[in-house]
Structure 1
Amino acid sequence: MIIKKLLRSSSLAAAALMLMMPAGWGLSPTQTSAAASAPAPCGSGDHGLLQQEQKQHMEEGADPLHFTDIQFLNGSTGRAAGTGFMIGTSDAGCHWQEIYTGKWNFAQIKFTDNVNGWAIATLPSHQTTHLLKTVDGGSHWKPVYTANLPFNRLEALGKNTVYGYTQNGAYRTENGGNSWVKIPTPANTRYATFRDKNNGYVLVIVPGSGYKVLGTADGGHSWSTKLNVKFDSPYPAGGQIYSKNNQVWALFYGGSGMSQVSYSLYGSTDQGVHWKRVIAQSTAGGGPAPGSGAAVVNQGPAQPGGHPGNMQLISKETAFLSGGSPAGGMVSVGVTYNGGKTWKNVKPSIHGYDSRISFTDGKTGWLVVTSATKSSIYATHDGGASWNRKFAFKEALNP
């Protein structure tokens, strides 16, 4: 048994090492030329990976393996993680390798380069979150000191610089987690994001009134109001904020019910000086969308009543939003290429109820989707208008 574990660990480390190598590494010019002229077929099944882990899950009556996050560093190299595993590709998803199998159930992954990465993860049957770090591409993970802070989300800006977020607080480390500094945030903060040491934004709930977005340019020592959004609820549910370069996007939740979610999405292309209400999705089950005034569209991606997933901000005016509809059994994306002046919800074409996206430019992206019976990875090269499946676990009901 010990020998098998050592062999297993060695093979995963080798897979992570191969993922770090550029295409064609170690091949002679003749071999490289031959490989380029006759590429291997691009698969779409499970690639023969994680079959033993899936079988064990099924025998124990556990939920099937499923993906929880995906990240591509460029147009060819990426990783997808889930419940006790991580896989990787160095050829845009044509072929995949097992990078990690073990006890950690990943909730979020963030690699700053092809070697150094961070993750939020839990242990089986436990709700406590842990901050993890890898320095070998993901084959091994070690818990990072957090002073018992319950981080549920992270942003990694560099090998040693990480922001950890709790439900109502923000913290920063610049020494790889050896120590943490609490960032001053306003009362009732429910979501925060920082793009560097000085500049950041928070979403604040105002009980009985709605929401506010505030910004700081001095690391949280002072805050100014950027946006007020009215919502008549004694306890607003919260939302999300994303920022990159000059873009800031804020998503505000309304109510939910009957597998439907109400929400509004606001966008800014000048660091929060001016805003546009881009999506205002009111539903029968969730009630009115937060905010007021005309919106560009009255529905988000994935219908009916779909819930928003994560966003990806590209360049100065391009933004993607993933969405999933449990009621409709579909996932899809919405996109703007002009900072929210127009918005297109791409017609749903993938069965599922939850998804996360990773785009590297305005056209090329990947999506992990979970359905009742299968978890898969898809790729697009036309901004989501069409998707090709690159990996799929065998259906749990028909293994």
Structure 2
Amino acid sequence: MTPHRKLSIAALALVMLGGFGFTPDRGPSWQLTDTGVTARFRGLAPVSGKVAWAAGSAGTVLRTVDGGRTWASVGPPEAAALQFRDIEAADARHAVALTIGNGADSRIYATADGGATWTETFRNDEPAAFYDCMTFLDRRHGLALSDPVGGRFRILATSDGGRTWRVRPTDGMPDALPGEFAFAASGTCLVSAGGHAWFATGGDATARVFASRDGGRSWTVTGSPVPSGPSAGIYSLAFRDPRHGLAVGGDYAAPTAAPDGSAVTRDGGRHWTVSRTVPGEYRSGVAWRGRTALAVGPTGSDVSHDGGVTWRRFDTGSFDAVACTADGSCWASGQDGRIARLSR
């Protein structure tokens, strides 16, 4: 917006209330970048408007340092047969990436030189474990989530930036429901804010949210109103602080219909309320941009200017993951090598 263009009252209210607002006469839009690959990117870790990482199928990891004008393929060669589903980055040089699968296919790799070299820092040796997603509470302390082993979800923890990991005892973890699991859809089934952590589930009769206020050592759990089933539940969480959170999901097998597929909390996940206006279709990723929120899925993208209470569609392209940075830059990634930046 030029200095000579006056804001409408509605637009000014959005800017004042939302921190990063979109004018009603020109909504947000995605600007695709040329990645030069066809991998499906469910792992996404933007650092700023210039620096971003993406991780996906066939062991592919990309990095840009020029806002998406060019991308470098920097994945570990030994992971070419694996599927990355999450990546967390601290800056242009430091990143930690998670591959999924039963047994030894669940691994974690770390780089400290922009992807020039990688170290495998964890390889799962529990046949029943299947790691879905990661989060970092700060640069040193991180958590990774596995589907239930012996009836309880399993937490992996690092205190040195991902160089070493250890499995946490499950004493502080509530029992899982018989068919409950987490979704490795966008790297956001496990998230954190202000030293707290949350993870979301589906698969059984109730989609639930687990919360930890002590760095992942102990957890509480609460049910949500988001419908759950064999391929349905909460696929993504986002918290902008320890109290205000969003949950989106639906049914991957029925992507064009998701009644009650989004919910909000204002008390740290103790209670969840269905959005007044939901996206209405399956959404696999959600993110905060100031007080504005974005949700993405294979059938489109939605924006909310009121903290997830109401949503409006603004794009019909397919994306799996969305993430925003402290400077207000937002990125989305998905199938066929699609990575985009949000146009303000």
Scaled to the shorter chain, the TM-score interval is 0.5 to 0.7
For the residues of structure 1 that align with 2:332 and 2:224, how far apart are their CA atoms?
32
Shift of 1:165: 0.5
Partner of 1:110: 88
Partner of 2:99: 121
Return the match for 1:318 from 280, 292, 298.
Answer: 292
For the residues of structure 2 that align with 1:230 and 1:72, how far apart are their CA atoms?
28
Return the match for 1:144 from 121, 127, 135.
Answer: 121
Structure 2 CA distance for partners of 1:157 and 1:211, relative to 1, 3 Å: closer
Shift of 1:274: 5.4
For the residues of structure 2 that align with 1:213 and 1:375, how far apart are their CA atoms?
31
Partner of 2:283: 308
Partner of 1:61: none
Alignment of 1:1-399 (within 5 A): 45=34, 64-82=38-56, 83-100=58-75, 102-104=77-79, 105=82, 106-121=84-99, 128-146=105-123, 148-149=125-126, 150-168=130-148, 169=153, 170-175=155-160, 176-182=163-169, 184-188=172-176, 190-191=181-182, 193=190, 195=192, 199-203=196-200, 208=205, 210-219=206-215, 226-229=222-225, 237-240=232-235, 241-245=237-241, 246-251=243-248, 253=250, 256-257=253-254, 260-262=256-258, 264-272=261-269, 275-278=272-275, 295-297=276-278, 299-300=279-280, 306-315=281-290, 317-325=291-299, 332-348=300-316, 350=317, 353-360=318-325, 364-370=329-335, 374-382=336-344
For the residues of structure 2 that align with 1:253 and 1:90, how far apart are their CA atoms?
34
Q: Which letter maps to 2:325?
A: T
Structure 2 CA distance for partners of 1:190 and 1:381, relative to 1, 3 Å: same
For the residues of structure 2 that align with 1:92 and 1:260, how far apart are their CA atoms?
32
Q: Which letter maps to 1:380?
A: L
Q: How many residues align?
A: 287
- 1:96-126 per-residue CA deviation (whole Å, 9 max, x = no partner) reads 3343462424222111222221111269xx9
Contact 1:255–1:261 at 8 Å: present in 2 too? Answer: no
Query: Structure 1, unaligned stretches of length 5 or more?
Result: 1-41, 51-63, 279-294, 301-305, 326-331, 383-399
For the residues of structure 1 that align with 2:124 and 2:59, how far apart are their CA atoms?
25
For the residues of structure 2 that align with 1:136 and 1:227, how far apart are their CA atoms?
42
Q: Which letter maps to 1:94?
A: R
Shift of 1:363: 5.9
Q: Percent identity?
A: 17
For the residues of structure 1 that align with 2:315 and 2:337, how far apart are their CA atoms?
20
Cα-Cα RMSD: 3.7
Contact 1:203–1:239 at 8 Å: present in 2 too? Answer: yes
Query: Structure 2, unaligned stretches of length 5 or more?
Result: 1-30, 183-188
Structure 2 CA distance for partners of 1:137 and 1:185, relative to 1, 3 Å: same
Deviation >6 Å, runs of 4+? none
For the residues of structure 2 that align with 1:86 and 1:232, how far apart are their CA atoms?
32
Shift of 1:163: 0.3
Structure 2 CA distance for partners of 1:215 and 1:165, relative to 1, 3 Å: closer
Superposition TM-score, scaled by structure 1 size: 0.60
Contact 1:266–1:276 at 8 Å: present in 2 too? Answer: yes
Shift of 1:322: 0.7
- 1:219-263 per-residue CA deviation (whole Å, 9 max, x = no partner) reads 567655655438586x68442333331322233545844x64535
Q: Which moved more, 1:160-169 or 1:239-248?
A: 239-248
Structure 2 CA distance for partners of 1:72 and 1:227, relative to 1, 3 Å: same
1:262 counterpart SS class: coil
